[in-house]
Structure 1
Amino acid sequence: MTITASTFTPEIVRTRHIKLPVTLTVVTVLLALLFVFSPVTGESIFRISDRISFTIADIHVASAPTMWISWVILAVLAAWTWWDAVAYRRTGLWVSIVFAVIAMFAFLTWAAQDGGVVPVAGTLAGALSLSVPLVYGALAGVIGERGGVVNIAIEGQLLLGAFTAVLLSSITRNPFVGLVGAIIGGVMVAFVLAAFAIRYLVDQIIVGVVLNVLVSGLTGFLYGALLAPNEAALNNAVTFPRWKIPLLGDIPVIGPVFFNQTFIVYLMYVVVAIVAWGLYRTRWGLRLRSVGEHPQAADTVGIKVNPTRFWNVLLAGAIAGIGGAYFTLVSVPQFTKDMTAGLGFIALAAVIFGGWDPIKATLAALLFGFATSLQNLLSVLSTPIPSEFMLMLPYVVTILAVAGFAGKITAPAADGSPYIKG
């Protein structure tokens, strides 16, 4: 029998996506168990205002009814995702966002039982503050991996940036000089990464891990030998003050959170916008993406693959260095050993969760920052959750987000692969 074009029907392969439905179902079941075995009474209070910049009446809700109504909505959303999966449809992103918001509202209602107060504005401000280094680190990761270089060394770039920032700011009594020092520190780590990974073709993962250990040991040694004995002169940074933007800073709730900040936070807004625009709208972004997706094709049209990767790894290091400066020029005016506490690895998770996109990676970093802020809030509310779990919370959210909510994600095709011309 001869098969002609008119009689041949291609087979359509459909994939059923069940990762999201499973994740939402597990979260819904866990919340139900929490509400059943730890019932609440009374009311929960959500404080919208910060009582300084603006005043809005507190919102009082009946704890138990609010929790269970929210849970019913979560169950409906989880069932929706299963219906989409059975029909081979992809569930819209809005379902995950709405589910996460309602689940968080229900959980906070449970945590603030019996008259507990949830400071909404304060929690958001804390989340933003904790997210700033993550955002800078995530942008550094996006730039590096879009160019084909896995930047495991984000942790080291943050840490050396924090060290050089406090040292130069303490010596010169100028936070801007400290910021420049942080950029130099981040670039130094990135230079070593680029040299070994691109020039000498050493495995990028191994180089990144070794750099993190090296920087941790180096800064720990210099802290003990240099900073600790001369704390007043070398470990006492001049920090950036808060600058309130007129009009914008007076907007209720979001004004004090986003527009009464320091220079590094405002710079973050600019850097996120520039990277997001430049990656998809400029020649720089096109060349960067081309050497990360198909370096051979980029080479054939005249793009110098390895120099392009090298300079963009240095740019990523400079951005990560700014994130490191936030630790010692905004959060605290002193450097301590390993003060970045693994945030570089969470920033790397934000890159993956965000699908190697600057905006999505930034939102993922904000989510992880919120999880850390939530950890502090739950401690204040004296919830019956064990303190050990509270310390795990940011990392649990990171794993849950990447494994359950991220869906199918694909890295740049040449990510992690060295390029040998010819």
Structure 2
Amino acid sequence: MLLRFAFKSLIARKVSVGLTVFSICISVFVLLAIGHIKNETKSSFTNTVSGVDLIVGARTGQLNLLLYSVFRIGNATNNISWDTYQELANNRSVAWTIPISLGDSHRGYRVMGTDGNYFEHFSYSNKQPLGFQAGKPFEDTFDAVLGAEVAKTLGYKIGDKITLSHGLGSTSFSEHSNNPFTVVGIINPTGTPVDQTVHVPLAGIEAIHVGWQSGVNLSGFGANNALAQQAKDLTPKTITAFMVGLNSKIATFSFQRQVNQYSSEAMMAILPGVTLAELWRMMSIMENVLLAISILVLIAALVGMSTMMLATMRERKQEFSVLRAIGASPLFIVVLIQLEAILTTLMSIAVAILVLLLGIEFTQGILSSRFGLFISSQIFTTDLMLALGAVVVSTILMGIFPAVSAYRTSKA
């Protein structure tokens, strides 16, 4: 009965209560969104690559090398010559390598040129190997293997033809239309940038660029066909970067030093785990600032709710008098006010969670295709429940002031 009475009391003051719900909803949404995005982003970044000892690329910042080689964010400052790659790949300390060639796209998704070692040695999330939900790894020059998100969003299936675009824009006027690729495989969902990547052979990357200079096709219309290109030497001249797996972890630092001191080309080798830790250290300050701001906004909203309830105490004197006249105790009035505060907050939380889920649903494709971030809609984690519990406890504490005022009014 008390709960129903509290709910009807809120309905009777729907305008002021609605504004309060709106303000608390915004603050709770900000608090939950920051926490969820932080956790999901960290998880997405951490699980992206596993089992790779070093990543080698042209000399640049460590974070830049990690971002473009693993997360497909940004661009390389320079390329590595194929001869240098072969020399380092044949080092006796190296067990395997995965070459990476970036620069093209397909309808907004990054295209990565690589070889068969990618499907054999690349792993994610505690050394989980790549699996196929359909098809197989590429074998021919114009085969393509799609990430799960690419295939799902664009509706591709095995046997479909796709055309790559020169450059990274979602809309390109430089299409490699003379040489379409055939989809031969679709990788299982991984929750990593692999899902948003089109994988093709290095020879395919070379083939579609025969006769191209500075992003312009100079080979003549129709002359640059697949048969002519397959007859050419399709060994890459350069690659963007490569991942390294070593025979022994002991050799990690010596091989890294050898790469960093390589005299023929300016290169660098990074440890993915160490660079990721550096990335999160840099972002921790921003995370803490955003969290502090969201907490302050929440406190302001709860103070506003308490102020609103205090302001209505004088207007509700007659209501309390009637309740006392029919036998309600002062404790009943206190509990009623607290229930109203809690119900107001719970409605705000419900709306905030709904808005957060809808926001994730509508922005997930943009975040995954443009930034390689996978934000899960599974928001009900331990951290979220603790945050919501803290919000409810704060509501109870802020509700003490109007409850005490109602208690005094009802006694009088």
Normalising by the smaller structure, the TM-score range is: under 0.3
The structure where strand makes up a greater share of residues is 2
TM-score for both structures, normalised by structure 2: 0.20
TM-score for both structures, normalised by structure 1: 0.20
The structure where helix makes up a greater share of residues is 1
* Higher Rg of the two aligned structures: 2
